């Protein structure tokens, strides 16, 4: 797709929803939540050029403290505003920003974009990055070129899609990246340029996220101890790690294959890029054996993104076959 640069007058109203995180914290040693949405906007130079900008505080928590119910509240508020044709910016802590953004993408059913952003440095730190990220995020949310893109993450001048973004650095000002496909575009001098898009997935509307979904990794020498311990908790679903392009020890694969007959078991690849293969290898426990079970490949989704999607699928009442269909859209 040819690059689209939106330098025309911004013609979409924008609502900023504050959910907390470093962007609203003050102090350089022992930083704590402090600023609400109005204060964040007041401390940000460059937002005055956007007409009709509104700001509302949903909560003010470090994102490590957010519950699934909190995340659903954030996503519903953003979705409901976007249904009215309003571009939405959510300020959010970076620790779990990608999980909430993924959940929001699962719920999002409108054309106006929803954009997540945050900060690595507190509002009172030298070189605070929150204001620049917020201005960039608002410019994307207001831009006609962002129509229909879904849920985005704007950070460090880059535009990412919620389904592919990961936090890949703890302290860099460019903390987020999309290992699978790269950014969708950039923001330069306040103007977003979009050069690629991802297809939208059919939305879900779960009434709650009251399900137990575990993430269970694997390693060399895995004897299934962790898998058996996880299954003993009787989870509603499990996200399992695989080595390489979908490989497990035969005994561990047997455990998960049996479990997948009862509950959704979704498998991700340990590498940041790539998907589960289909028929390259044929040794016991290879991807051919994995795909011969009822285990569901997660495609390019990260384990944390796959968990949020599975939580929404289960809470929305999808059967195992319907969950398989939902994840097939991400399985390259």
pLDDT tens column, 23-36: 999 987 899 999 99
Q: Does residue 1 register a pLDDT over 80?
A: no
91 catalytic residue (yes or no): no
Query: How is the chain split into domains, by residue range?
Result: 4-194, 213-328
Q: Does residue 45 register a pLDDT over 50?
A: yes
Set 22, 96, 122, 164: catalytic member? 22
Widest Cα–Cα separation across the chain: 62
How far apart CA 169 and CA 151 sit, in angstroms, is 21
pLDDT mean over 206-213: 97
CB-based contacts of 225, cutoff 8 Å, min separation 6:
none
DSSP letter assigned to residue 330: T
- In this prediction, residue 10 has a pLDDT band, given cuts at 50, 70 and 90, of low
Q: Does residue 320 register a pLDDT over 60?
A: yes
CA 265 to each of CA 212, 214, 230, 234: distance values in angstroms, whole numbers, following the listed order? 12, 10, 12, 12
Q: Does residue 4 register a pLDDT over 80?
A: no
pLDDT at 332: 57
pLDDT at 29: 84
Per-residue pLDDT reduced to its tens digit, 82-133: 999 999 999 999 999 999 999 999 999 999 999 999 999 999 999 999 999 9
Q: What is the DSSP string of 8-62?
A: SPP-S-EEEEEEESGGGEE-SSS-EE---HHHHHHT-TTGGGSTT-EEEEEEEE-
HSE-CB for 228 with a 13 A CA cutoff: 7
Residue range 213-328 forms a domain whose CATH class is alpha beta
pLDDT at 7: 40
Q: What kind of fold does domain 4-194 have according to CATH? A: Rossmann fold (3.40.50)
CA 121 to each of CA 23, 58, 93, 186: distance values in angstroms, whole numbers, following the listed order? 7, 21, 11, 21
Q: Provide the whole-model pTM.
A: 0.95
pLDDT mean over 183-204: 95
Place of tokens 């949020």: 308
The residue ranking higher by pLDDT, 4 or 173, is 173
Share the mean pLDDT of the chain: 95
Q: Does residue 196 register a pLDDT over 50?
A: yes
Record the tokens describing residue 59, joined without a space: 């909560």
pLDDT at 331: 77
Query: Cα 324 vs. chain centroid, distance in angstroms?
Result: 20
């Amino acid at each position: 797709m040819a690059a689209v640069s939106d330098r025309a007058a911004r013609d979409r109203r924008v609502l900023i929803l504050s959910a907390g995180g470093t962007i609203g914290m003050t102090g350089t040693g022992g930083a704590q939540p402090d600023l609400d949405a109005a204060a964040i906007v007041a401390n940000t130079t460059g937002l005055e050029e956007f007409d009709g900008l509104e700001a509302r505080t949903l909560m003010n928590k470090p994102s490590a403290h957010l519950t699934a119910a909190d995340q659903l509240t954030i996503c519903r508020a953003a979705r409901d505003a976007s249904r009215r044709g309003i571009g939405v910016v959510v300020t959010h802590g970076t620790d779990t920003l990608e999980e909430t953004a993924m959940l929001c993408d699962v719920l999002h059913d409108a054309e106006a974009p929803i954009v997540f952003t945050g900060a690595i440095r507190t509002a009172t730190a030298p070189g605070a990055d929150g204001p620049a990220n917020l201005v960039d995020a608002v410019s994307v949310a207001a831009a006609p070129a962002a129509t229909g893109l879904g849920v985005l993450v704007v950070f460090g001048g880059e535009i990412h899609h919620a389904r592919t973004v990961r936090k890949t650095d703890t302290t860099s000002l460019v903390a987020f990246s999309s290992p699978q496909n790269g950014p969708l575009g950039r923001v330069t001098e306040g103007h977003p340029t979009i050069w690629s898009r991802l297809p939208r997935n059919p939305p879900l509307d779960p009434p709650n996220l009251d399900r137990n979904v575990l993430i269970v990794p694997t390693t060399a020498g895995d004897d299934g101890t962790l898998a058996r311990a996880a299954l003993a908790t009787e989870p509603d679903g499990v996200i399992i790690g695989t080595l390489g392009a979908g490989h497990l020890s035969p005994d561990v694969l047997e455990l998960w294959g049996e479990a997948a007959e009862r509950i959704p078991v979704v498998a991700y690849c340990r590498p940041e890029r790539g998907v589960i293969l289909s028929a390259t290898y044929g040794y016991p426990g290879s991807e051919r054996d994995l795909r011969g079970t009822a285990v569901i490949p997660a495609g390019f989704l990260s384990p944390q993104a796959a968990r949020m999607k599975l939580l929404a699928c289960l809470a929305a009442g999808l059967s195992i076959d319907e969950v398989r269909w939902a994840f097939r859209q991400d399985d390259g």
